[in-house]
Amino acid sequence: MGEQVVIRPARAEDAECCGEIAVQAWRPIFHAWREILGDSVWKRVYGDWELQKRSSVVCQLRDHTHLAAVSEREGEIVGFLTWRLDHDRQIGQISNNAVDPGCQGHGVGTAQIEWALDYFRSEGMRAARVLTGGDPGHAPARAMYEKAGFARALPCVEYFLEL
């Protein structure tokens, strides 16, 4: 990508931009799920995905700004990452994270995860966890986590049935 990407703690005013990146980044995943689940179940379960995804990311960035970071290139936000810390059990959990589709494939996603792992260590965390999909749409996410060092996984399956 050429220009340097800087990862920095988020600010509340970053929230709307990250909500938009989330919608753009997750669109191919939700569209692929429609093929897998069929129209009827997909519409019932994920028909409002865009609203849900945008509002969960915007709320997290705006209301829990200290649990989020953004990646900037030339002053423009190109990705974001959110997390939770369980101080009692010393576990850092990576939550929503995404990279603007126009900037994917250049290492930003992996750099964000590595940034979070360093931050978890600095906060005294002893383990990191993240939940992701086993579907083809999440192949880039799985590759990114493995590249960042996540080597142990518990696969799980979510079933759907139209009634």
Ligand X SMILES: CC(C)(COP(=O)(O)OP(=O)(O)OC[C@H]1O[C@@H](n2cnc3c(N)ncnc32)[C@H](O)[C@@H]1OP(=O)(O)O)[C@@H](O)C(=O)NCCC(=O)NCCS
Residues that bind ligand X (CB under 6 A): 25-26, 97-99, 104-110, 132, 138-141, 143-144, 147
Residue closer to ligand X (CB basis): 72 or 140? 140
Find out whether 8 and 79 touch, Cβ atoms under 8 Å: no
User: For ligand X, which is the closer residue by CB, 126 or 147?
Assistant: 147
DSSP three-state, residue 65? helix
Q: What minimum distance in Å lies between the beta carbon of 24 and ligand X?
A: 9
Nearer to ligand X, 42 or 145 (CB): 145
Three-state secondary structure along 87-154?
A: CCCCEEEEEEEEECHHHCCCCHHHHHHHHHHHHHHHCCCCEEEECCCCCHHHHHHHHHHHHCCCCCCC
Nearer to ligand X, 19 or 109 (CB): 109
CB of 70 to ligand X, least distance (A): 13
Residue 74 or 87 with smaller CB distance to ligand X: 74
What is the C-alpha to C-alpha distance for residues 132 and 162, in angstroms, rounded to an integer?
Answer: 24
**Exposed, middle or buried by CB within 10 Å (0-12, 13-18, 19+), for 129?**
middle
Cα 103 to Cα 76: distance, rounded to the nearest angstrom: 11
Closest approach of Cβ 76 to ligand X, in Å? 15
DSSP state for residue 75 in the 8-state scheme: T
